[in-house]
Amino acid sequence: MLLESKLLHKPVMVEEVIKLMDVKPGGFYLDCTLGGGGHSLAILKHSSPNGYLVGIDRDPIAISEAENVLSEYKGRFTLILGNFANLSELISKTGIERFDGILFDLGISSIQLENSERGFSFSNDGPLDMRMDPDISLTAHQVINTFSLEELESIFRNLGEEPFAHKIADAIVAYRKKKEISSTKELAEIISSVVKRRGKIHPATRAFMALRIYINDELGNLKKALIQALSLLKSKGRLCVISYHSLEDRIVKNFFRESRERIITKSVIKPSREEILNNRRARSARLRGLEKL
């Protein structure tokens, strides 16, 4: 049996998610962000012996990793490669009409972040890529080397809430006049040359996050998916969303409020201090849930 400790991506707030989704034997569950399969593994375990899970990810590597992680529950799950922006269409192929619980654990996984070839990380040098899905045509390389100063500034400011957006865009444009910018380390160094470190946070953190959000249209996909997810829930079914930055969390919060369903997280759920100590990535996680009337 595969131990949870062997997971390549440490799932965040697993116990909180299982409780909030009210996972039960025999239920039907949908994990819209499979990643390394950690949450799905817990859902299958807690819905044993006969619960069923559908898992979606737009990254083919995530699908094969999750397939491996979930193998002990073979026969109780279906995995689908696709963008959750097309949720209804993806689910129509499964023959399942409604779910008891739906989960979104947004952003990228450690598997994606730590693979330097994917170009998500400034700590490991790699090509400027940042596509979650290899079929996306736009890469970070194109954005960084061809977008205008104003376009770059707007990405850093609006998607990264980066106060030094103008300075960073300016430095990129000046640098690329001399040389194409081709690696994540190179970009991180350009940013570090104009922005001072703020506490423990690397100066390139916000700009890298903004680029990733832009290339993968993360906010647009989330808005499209939430409304479809709500219509795929049974009455009393629960929708749970973990977000990692304020722009995402705001979309979720406003959607929940406007949906007029029952919000089951009066205040947002945050990870325990112990979890944050064991998994730094958890520090910015925020969990919200609603129950369909």
Sequence-ordered strand ranges (E) for the chain: 28-31, 52-57, 77-81, 99-105, 233-243, 262-263, 286-291
> If binding is defined by CB under 6 A, does position 107 make contact with ligand SAM?
yes
What is the nearest approach in angstroms of ligand SAM to the Cβ of residue 221?
Answer: 4
Our CB check for ligand SAM shows the closer of 22 and 170 to be 22
Contact window for ligand SAM (CB under 6 A) among 22-30, 105-113, 141-149, 228-236? 105-113
> If binding is defined by CB under 6 A, does position 131 make contact with ligand SAM?
no
Residue 277 burial class via C-beta count within 10 angstroms: exposed 0-12, middle 13-18, buried 19 and up: exposed
For 147, the token pair is: 């977008």
> If binding is defined by CB under 6 A, does position 232 make contact with ligand SAM?
no
> If binding is defined by CB under 6 A, does position 46 make contact with ligand SAM?
no
- For residue 195, the number of C-alpha atoms closer than 13 Å in the C-beta half-sphere is 28
Our CB check for ligand SAM shows the closer of 98 and 223 to be 223
What is the nearest approach in angstroms of ligand SAM to the Cβ of residue 285?
Answer: 9
Report CA-CA distances (Å) from 108 to 32, 62, 89, 114, 168.
13, 10, 23, 10, 24
> If binding is defined by CB under 6 A, does position 108 make contact with ligand SAM?
yes
Residue selected from 20, 23, 36, 77 as contacting ligand SAM according to rule CB under 6 A: 36
What is the nearest approach in angstroms of ligand SAM to the Cβ of residue 125?
Answer: 22
Reduced DSSP (H G I as helix, E B as strand, rest coil) percent helix, strand, coil of the chain, to 5: 50, 15, 35
Rounded to 5°, the CA angle 92-96-101 comes to: 110
- The dihedral over CA atoms of 21, 22, 28, 31, expressed in degrees to the nearest 10, equals 20
Our CB check for ligand SAM shows the closer of 39 and 191 to be 39
Task: State which of positions 56-75 bind ligand SAM (CB under 6 A).
Answer: 56-59, 62
Contact window for ligand SAM (CB under 6 A) among 77-85, 230-238, 259-267, 272-280? 77-85
What is the nearest approach in angstroms of ligand SAM to the Cβ of residue 241?
Answer: 11
Task: Please state, in angstroms and rounded to a whole number, the distance separating the CA atoms of residues 222 and 228.
Answer: 10
> If binding is defined by CB under 6 A, does position 105 make contact with ligand SAM?
yes
Residue type (1 letter), 1 = M
Q: Answer for the pair 172, 194: CB distance below 8 angstroms, yes or no.
A: no
> If binding is defined by CB under 6 A, does position 37 make contact with ligand SAM?
yes
> If binding is defined by CB under 6 A, does position 109 make contact with ligand SAM?
yes
- Interacting residues with ligand SAM (CB under 6 A): 9, 11, 33, 35-39, 56-59, 62, 83-85, 105, 107-109, 132, 221
